[in-house]
Chain A
Amino acid sequence: MQLPKISVQGFNASFNGKPAVKNLDLEIFAQERLAIIGPASSGKTTFLRSLNRLNDLERGFSHSGDILRDGKNIYDPDIDVAELRRKVGMVYAVPVPLPWSIYDNLVYGLRLAGIRDRATLDNRIEVALRYAFLWDEVKDRLQEPANVLSGGQQQRLCIARVLVLEPDVLVLDEPCSGLDPISTAKIEDALVALKESHSIVLVTNNTKQAARASDRTAFLLLGDLIEVGPTSQIFTRPTQKRTNDYLVGQFG
């Protein structure tokens, strides 16, 4: 058994004393796509935003327990949070390109990391855009404003913007919720290619997407991890009644 990329151990998260994630134990391995499913307010997004410490921005957020990345607790005081966020790349439900050109959006993270060499920037951009299946669509118009792209293109730009930083973990929060089926398929294809070199955590409200686009699935309910296992098993032979109820649409 290989070592997990990320190991979550007894992790609790709460906002103003109200628990959002309770005593979570979960492992995320290299080269896998882990889908997290569950009804609204089950703690999926809170958990995701804990992985790159984005919850630190929220007032009233508190946590306990450990999240180890390559064996090192990401909440240790000597962690460089900016570096952590570069290596655990986040993609949001609604694409949020910054109000600049496509090119500026792509190089922003690299510039923050202190990389200014033009050749390196251009090279990383091309690699990232190819991964995100966007290169052919934007290679001749990198100086155009990012907000002229379609929604699906903007979302792939946001994925590329994260990939230029060469993260080893990708966390995606319902990345296809606002997209048409063709754009969704493109993003799911990109995830297949990306899992060769990344751990991918995909939060989705769409159980069909979880079934299609993940290797393992975790089911969260009201902050508790109910069940985690290979996607094929979760969707055909869930061990927990509540998982089955959710999947057949009895609640949520």
Chain B
Amino acid sequence: MKQDKIIGAILLLVALSAISGLGLITVFIFREGVPIILRLGARQFFLSTDWEPSLGKFGILSMIGGSLAVTVGAAAIGVVFSLGLAIVLTQFSPPGLSAALKPLIELLAGIPSVVYGFVGVVTLVPLIRHTLGGPGLSVLAASIVLGIMILPTITSIAIDALQAVSPTYLEGSIALGATRWQTVTMVILRAARSGIVAAVILGMGRAIGETMAVIMVAGNALEVPHSLLDPVRTLTSNIALEMGYASGAHRQALFATGVTLFVIITLLNIAALGFSRRRPARSRVG
């Protein structure tokens, strides 16, 4: 009995130190980043596209635009393929095939992001340059690479959401004269809706936080993108590219960029949690 208590106390200590480490990092980022936002004014920091650290100008609007463009693009591509995969694996494929494919999809999550970036640079970027024009390093390239990278996240959460739908709905619907496909679109997807939305939001959270692959294929130009073929710099790339040599106000501005990312990702995660907890019972007349 006494031994149990000691082990419990040790485990608690370990858990608390991990959490407090996280807390300390948060405090540190905010302490380093928030003062410069206050000093420049939120308007100057968030709504200006001028980022010239040597002149003391720190406006991150073009990077916010870049991050949003790339994330939305990645979500669009990721959702189509992930949802398709999740539907096929849960509804239409023999159990053996799902059992074989699901671990393969999860394996995709284990590939280092630099590998995705490398493949993107070697194959995707020249392809876009030759067929669609522009520099190739672009929103489009980053969206495609990120779309593939978030595939495992969205797919596995969407699979869980679809599998959580009661199998009695399937039989009930089929017995009323629905085809399998009608049942999937009209009953099962509707019942799994909140879980699928949560999956997409979590995927977006991953996409907006990804750094290495984006640096390699997005072009990193400091401008608000006007087309899919324009190069962009994201919030994450900006930090990674400049942190090595930044000091003083420049360094603080990079921490402030980190604070911005932190807040965006936290909001996305809260939204995802909210959706995944919502009970999908009620509906309106369609």
Stretch of A35-43, A63-71, A92-100, A194-202 lying at the B interface = A92-100
Query: How distant is A128 from chain B, measured CB to nearest CB, in Å?
Result: 13
Q: Are B174 and A85 neighbours in the complex by a CB distance under 8 Å?
A: yes
Q: For A161, what are the chain B residues with a Cβ–Cβ distance below 8 Å? A: 176
Q: How far is the CB of A136 from chain B (nearest CB, A)?
A: 22
Within 8 A of B (CB), among A97-113: 97-101, 103-104, 108-109, 112-113
**Does the CB pair B177–A86 fall under 8 Å?**
yes
Indicate if B182 sits at the interface (CB-CB under 8 A).
Answer: yes
Q: A99-B191, A101-B283 are in contact. Are A94 and B168 (CB under 8 A)?
A: yes
Residue A52 CB within 8 A of the other chain: yes
CA distance A85 to B282 in the complex (A): 27
One digit per residue, 1 when the CB lies within 8 angstroms of any chain B CB and 0 when it does not, for chain A 42-54 equals: 0000000000101
By the criterion CB–CB under 8 Å, are A112 and B177 in contact? Answer: yes
Question: B177 touching A82 by the CB < 8 A rule?
Answer: yes
If the complex has contacts A99-B283, A100-B283, A104-B286, are A82 and B171 also in contact, measured as CB distance less than 8 A? Answer: no
The reply on B8 being an interface residue by CB < 8 A is: no
One digit per residue, 1 when the CB lies within 8 angstroms of any chain A CB and 0 when it does not, for chain B 247-286 equals 0000000000000000000000000000000001111111
A162 in contact with B171 given A99-B283, A100-B283, A147-B281 (CB within 8 Å): no
Produce 1/0 per residue, B167-179, CB < 8 A to A.
0111111111111
User: Are B171 and A112 neighbours in the complex by a CB distance under 8 Å?
Assistant: no
Shortest Cβ distance from A31 into chain B, in angstroms? 23
Q: Is B29 engaged at the interface, CB distance under 8 Å to the other chain? A: no
Closest Cβ of chain A to B171, distance in Å, is 7
Chain B CB within 8 A of A76 CB: no
Contact among B94, B171, B187, B283 with A57 in the assembled complex (CB-CB below 8 Å): B171
Which residues of A, 110-166, contact B by the 8 Å Cβ criterion? Answer: 112-113, 143, 145, 147, 158, 161-162, 165
CB distance from B285 to the nearest CB of A (A): 6
Q: What are the residues of chain B within 8 A of A89 when measuring CB–CB?
A: 175
A100 to B282, CA, bound (A): 6
Name the distance in Å between B98's Cβ and chain A's nearest Cβ: 13
Q: Tell me the minimal C-beta distance from B250 to chain A in angstroms.
A: 54
In the assembled complex, the Cα of A165 lies from the Cα of B178 at a distance in Å of 12
Decide if A99 touches B284 in the complex (CB within 8 Å). no
In the complex, given contacts A101-B282, A101-B285, what are 16 additional A-B residue pairs having Cβ atoms less than 8 angstroms apart? Answer: A52-B175, A54-B171, A57-B170, A82-B177, A85-B174, A85-B177, A86-B176, A96-B168, A96-B171, A98-B187, A100-B190, A103-B285, A109-B177, A112-B176, A145-B282, A165-B176
